[in-house]
Amino acid sequence: MKHFFNRGTAAALAVCFLLLLSGCGAAAPNPAASGERSRVKVVATDFPAYDFARAVCGTEADAELLLPPGTESHSYEPTPRDILDVGGCDLFIYVGGESDAWVDTILQSLDHPVKTLKMTQCVELLPEETAPGMTSREERSQGESAELDEHVWTSPANAALIVEAVGQAMEKLDPEHAAAYRENAGGYAAQIRQLDEAFKTFFSGVKNPTMVFGDRFPLRYFAQEYGITCYAAFPGCSAQTEPSAATVAFLTDKVRTEKLSTVYYIEFSNHLVADSIAEAAGVGTALFHSCHNVSREDLDSGATYVSLMRGNLETLKKTMR
């Protein structure tokens, strides 16, 4: 998976942080160090981690989303401000995959350890899938083993497990509010399991659960959970945007032979590839939200993991038989 992180970023961050430590930068006081803050603060890198933390914290603690809304999580470059945010929090939740490898730079820059929780450590991991027809990553040499897919939250069953893990971490961290965290985590995990049941019920009535993504494919766990056969232009969150002619032809043919009504694309995509396949096959396109991150509008209007996934279910009901 070719992500956009580079070593230059790591060096620049290290320098910035040293400047902040030595007082040359505009360093904000660390509330944890100065003892001004009594409420527990959780910082999460991306939207699913933030949403789960927010649900568990409820009114007892504060959750903060590190990535600005609308940011492509794979091309993100952390700022010195992010280092301060992470250094000043009580629990830091991140994916723990290749896309947020930049997190290690932040953690190594801190002068004190911060409690962390990786979403990829809460569930069983699957290898990233390279389905027939995909324009694969170029940099993987033959015989190199597939890397583990990090998009664990796309399966609601996994999401419920992650919520419970966040709940347990919060109970340990802040025993005074343990009962509230347990109740919040239990309540949100139950909502997510209802969603899981709704997907199962839907897919049990679908004769041909096949989806074609004219896009990247961060939905390995979702597809595995519900037994969906998926085809996509690129594996995982590959940085590639130009599919080969063979990939486009293969996917167009799949749409025709499987008699599919729709080619799917994911959020923040320009959906050019999905559009061209759909046009060639004479079908429509639809957004399937992988919940990596949300737009400012979504965040302001109260979008949650559950509301986005319910939106996906409604899309599937309209586009799949």
Question: Residues in the site for Zn ion, rule: CB under 5 A?
Answer: 99, 218, 237
Q: Report yes or no: 291 and 308 within 8 Å, Cβ to Cβ.
A: yes
Give the pair of three-digit tokens for residue 157.
């069953």
Minimal CB distance residue for Zn ion: 237
CB of 100 to Zn ion, least distance (A): 9
Nearer of residues 293 and 304 to Zn ion, judged by Cβ: 293
CB of 74 to Zn ion, least distance (A): 6
CB of 119 to Zn ion, least distance (A): 12
- Sheet-wide strand order for 284-287: 229-232, 210-213, 262-265, 284-287
CB of 290 to Zn ion, least distance (A): 7
Q: Report yes or no: 216 and 231 within 8 Å, Cβ to Cβ.
A: no
Q: How far is CA 158 from CA 4, 65, 119, 172, 192, in A?
A: 27, 20, 9, 21, 9
CB of 299 to Zn ion, least distance (A): 19
- Say which DSSP state 148 is in: B
CB of 94 to Zn ion, least distance (A): 13
| DSSP letter for each residue of 14-57 | HHHHHHHHTT-S-PPP-HHHHT---S-EEEESSHHHHHHHHHHH
How far apart, in whole angstroms, are the C-alpha atoms of residue 244 and residue 248? 7
CB of 150 to Zn ion, least distance (A): 7
β-bridge partners, 41 = 62
Nearer of residues 41 and 220 to Zn ion, judged by Cβ: 220
Nearer of residues 66 and 237 to Zn ion, judged by Cβ: 237
Give the pair of three-digit tokens for residue 268.
């923040």
Nearer of residues 162 and 237 to Zn ion, judged by Cβ: 237
How far apart, in whole angstroms, are the C-alpha atoms of residue 39 and residue 315? 40
Nearer of residues 87 and 218 to Zn ion, judged by Cβ: 218
Nearer of residues 254 and 292 to Zn ion, judged by Cβ: 292
Nearer of residues 47 and 199 to Zn ion, judged by Cβ: 47
How far apart, in whole angstroms, are the C-alpha atoms of residue 160 and residue 167? 11
Residue 227 identity: G
CB of 193 to Zn ion, least distance (A): 24
How far apart, in whole angstroms, are the C-alpha atoms of residue 292 and residue 179? 30
Q: Report yes or no: 112 and 92 within 8 Å, Cβ to Cβ.
A: no
Give the pair of three-digit tokens for residue 1.
């998976």
Nearer of residues 225 and 267 to Zn ion, judged by Cβ: 267
